[in-house]
Amino acid sequence: MCLFCKIINKEIPSEIILEDENFIAFHDINPKAPVHILAIPKSHVNSFNDVSSDMMAGMTIFIQNIAKEVDIDKSGYRVITNIGDNGGQEVKHLHFHVLGGAKLAWTHLSDSNPKAFL
Ligand code: 5GP
Ligand code: ZN
């Protein structure tokens, strides 16, 4: 069973923000911003590559509700999902990073020339 499935089953403790029948949101253990929450589906999906549009419809509302719950909906926030090796995905269970609580940096994200493929 993957790490996030263990969190869903409460075998590994987490600080839960919001939970419903299909999704759960909890604080990232290594926050990269004052607010750093992970939103995941309760059924195991490897990555964004494999998610259905039906599940994404529910996830969209769930993430909107997280932003309201922690009061970052008006001040602004960022939603990120890392996919595969180049995306930097470490946990192979679909998750959306919800980052906010301060003005977020937007920096150069790769070591190679960003214009190399233009
Ligand atoms: P990824 O790099 O796969 O996009 O993101 C995985 C995230 O999961 C990282 O931000 C990491 O800090 C977080 N993480 C890893 N293990 C745990 C854990 O046991 N509990 C919590 N709450 N977050 C975790
Ligand atoms: Zn899983």
In this predicted model, what pLDDT tens digit does every residue of 21-42 receive, in sequence order?
999 999 999 999 999 999 999 9
* Structure tokens, 59: 């996830």
Short-list 63, 73, 76, 85, CA closest to 106:
76
Exposure string of 24-38, with b = 16+ CB inside 10 Å and e = fewer, is bbbebeeeebebbbb
Give the strand pairing for 23-27 and 35-41. antiparallel
* Structure tokens, 70: 């922690």
The answer to whether residues 82 and 45 touch, using CB atoms and an 8 Å cutoff, is no
Domains along the sequence of the chain with CATH: 3-117 (3.30.428.10)
Ligand nearest to the CA of 96: 1
Residues tagged active-site = 95
**How close are the terminal C-alpha atoms of the chain, in Å?**
41
Pocket flag, ligand 1, residue 47 (CB < 6 Å): no
Q: Which atom of ligand 1 is nearest to the CA of 15?
A: 22
Q: Is the dihedral of CA 72, 54, 3, 49 positive or negative?
A: negative
Assign 18 to helix, strand or coil. strand
pLDDT tens track for 78-103? 999 999 999 999 999 999 999 999 99
CA distance to 57, 65, 106, per residue, from 62 (Å): 9, 5, 25
Residue 117 clears pLDDT 80, i.e. is over it: no
What average pLDDT does this structure show over 43-51?
Answer: 98
Pocket flag, ligand 1, residue 28 (CB < 6 Å): yes
